[in-house]
Chains A and B, each alone.
Chain A
Amino acid sequence: MELPDLENQIRGIIARVIELNSEEISADADFINDLGVDSLKAIEITGAIEKAFKIVVPEEQIRNIRSLNQAVVLTKELLKAKG
């Protein structure tokens, strides 16, 4: 999957979970400080990304997903590792 597609797909997932329009979610916006996402929504985002891409996010990484960019990088890494 090309990076822009991946980014757009994850942006859509995040938008759905936190109930914002996709265009309101910039790549670097911090979930907590900029988008008002709480730890519960962050967990829900992780679950939704896992389901969409059939990947397993390590538990210790859940807290590190704080922006669209970070989610994209991690998803890319996990897809690559999956082969």
Chain B
Amino acid sequence: MPRKRVVITGLGPIGSPGIGKAAFWQGILDQKTNVQIEKYTVDNEPLAEFHLHKVEGFNLTKFGIDKALLNEIKEWKEGEEISDLNYLIAAVKLALDDSGLDYGSEDNGISLVLAHENIGLMQFGFKVSNLAYEMLIDKQSKDVNKKAFFTNLYKKFLKSGYDVQTFADLFHVAKVFNIHDYSLFINNACASGLYAFEAASQIIKNNQAKVVVIAASDCPEIYKYLWFKELGIYSPDGIIKPFSKDANGLVFGEGSVSIVIEDLETAQKRNAPIYAEYLGGGFDLEGWKITVPQIGSNSYQKAILKVFNQSKIEKEEIDLLCPHGVGCQVIDTYEAKAITDIFGPNPKSPLITAFKPYVGHNLGGSALLEAAILLLSLKNNTILPTLNCQNINPKLNLPLIKQKTETNLKTVMKICCAFAGFNGAAIFKKLD
């Protein structure tokens, strides 16, 4: 029996350029990066402020989603509006609508794969911090009893403990869309989107489902900002400059993305719009340190070589490559070395362009969001320039596209080198 072929039939991007496929793509073409300053305060005291690619005009109630289901989620979230969960739900709605699939019935045969790097982390952290502070203030005149403290904490966190249990958000999103088939939650740091794509394609290839909705999101948080600032990888001027001499760090990007994939036969039977075929993924876990890539290792190269093997594609066939392009000197150098080891120094092919300067770094959602931009580039036969790359570091031997070009694209590749050394690559090809 021939192996099933997996195709992309729906896209639902949400980011600083816009909400939904058409507005998002137009925003990309218009270079609407929408970088603003986010300010955090605690009890009206300024804590920090940082640049961020912001989503504008988002309102989940405008997406036509059952209010009773949204209220149930709100109850679990103790009245809080959780941006990244809201973005996830909206992105799935956009992607399903784009695919033309009917998901109204309870046996719609759809699977769900969610990807996120930090789900619930900050809201849970804030709740613990607030409660601990209140209890300490309350206990000032009495002895602080550790057992009583723990018992109180446990009772207060019966619900919000689920903020950081990944299955809960998988449950919430699945319930909104009547999804009952085999479903997964993925976390492989910034490479989560590529791992999610591969896991979703395996669901189809193994006959667990004919349609899988993949969705990824990550909402920038103060905790992550403070940590990245301490590591020296957050751009103080709010400009991501991939592979540049003056690269000084990343900038967060709000948003989410969902991609619908299905087996080719099912898609063709229902005359679905087909963006491309997913040819496969290649992965390698370097496993040296969490926050630092191992300079001198060949883990990233291995991931890229594995994807060629999986996809039965020669490297010469790749027209366009989208790297992680995070704009941090160490990571950029690590990435450029891997690319030039595979394709040679200053390769003429593939053309290389990085998308983070458009949408910011969406962390656990970034690889999938950038894969969606790549798929839109493929559909529109358009190669986008890398923004902010006037001073490319010549030592990296990596040419980047500086001007928008319209050309016939056939095969594109997304690669990503994530924290902890989760290195991944994926190849997409237009159907003949």
Contacts and interface: CB of A to CB of B under 8 A. Distances in A.
Interface string A38-63: 01110110011000000000010010
B48 interface: no
B330 A59 contact: no
Nearest to B334: A40
B104 interface: no
Interface in B268-296: 288-296
A39 B295 CA distance: 10
A59 B329 contact: no
Main secondary structure of the interface of A (DSSP, over half): helix
Given A39-B329, A40-B330, A47 B290 contact: no
Contacts of A44: 295-296
Interface residues of B, number: 14
A44 B293 CA distance: 10
B333 interface: yes
B295 A47 contact: yes
Size category of the A interface is under 10
B330 A43 contact: yes
Given A39-B330, A40-B333, A62 B295 contact: no
Contacts of B292: 43, 59, 62
Nearest to B230: A60
B81 to A, nearest CB: 35
A59 B288 CA distance: 10
Contacts, number: 27
Contacts of A48: 296
Kindly name the residue among A41, A43, A48 whose own CB sees the greatest number of chain B CB atoms within 10 A: A43
A47 B290 CA distance: 14
A40 B295 contact: yes
A40 B296 CA distance: 9
Interface string B311-347: 0000000000000000001100110000000000000
A11 B334 CA distance: 25
Nearest to B329: A39
B13 to A, nearest CB: 34
A47 B296 contact: yes
B290 A59 contact: yes
A48 B288 CA distance: 12
A41 B329 CA distance: 12
Nearest to A58: B289
A47 B329 contact: no
A43 B297 CA distance: 11
A41 B294 CA distance: 10
Contacts of A59: 289-292
Contacts of B334: 40
Nearest to A47: B294
Contacts of A47: 288, 294-297
A41 B290 CA distance: 18
B291 A43 contact: no
Contacts of B294: 43, 47
A73 B288 CA distance: 22
Contacts of A41: 295
Nearest to A43: B295
A37 B233 CA distance: 19
A41 to B, nearest CB: 8
B287 to A, nearest CB: 12
Contacts of B290: 59
A65 to B, nearest CB: 12
Interface in A4-57: 39-41, 43-44, 47-48
B140 to A, nearest CB: 34
Contacts of B297: 47
A40 B294 CA distance: 9
Contacts of A40: 295, 329-330, 333-334
A47 B333 CA distance: 16
Interface in B358-377: none
Given A40-B330, A41-B295, A43-B292, 8 more contacts: A39-B330, A40-B329, A43-B294, A43-B295, A44-B296, A47-B288, A59-B291, A62-B292
20 contacts: A39-B329, A39-B330, A40-B330, A40-B333, A40-B334, A41-B295, A43-B292, A43-B293, A43-B295, A43-B330, A44-B295, A44-B296, A47-B288, A47-B294, A47-B296, A47-B297, A48-B296, A59-B289, A62-B289, A62-B292
Interface of B: 288-297, 329-330, 333-334
Interface of A: 39-41, 43-44, 47-48, 59, 62
Ordered nearest first, which 10 A-B pairs have the shortest CB separation? A44-B295, A43-B295, A59-B289, A44-B296, A40-B295, A47-B294, A40-B333, A59-B291, A39-B330, A43-B292
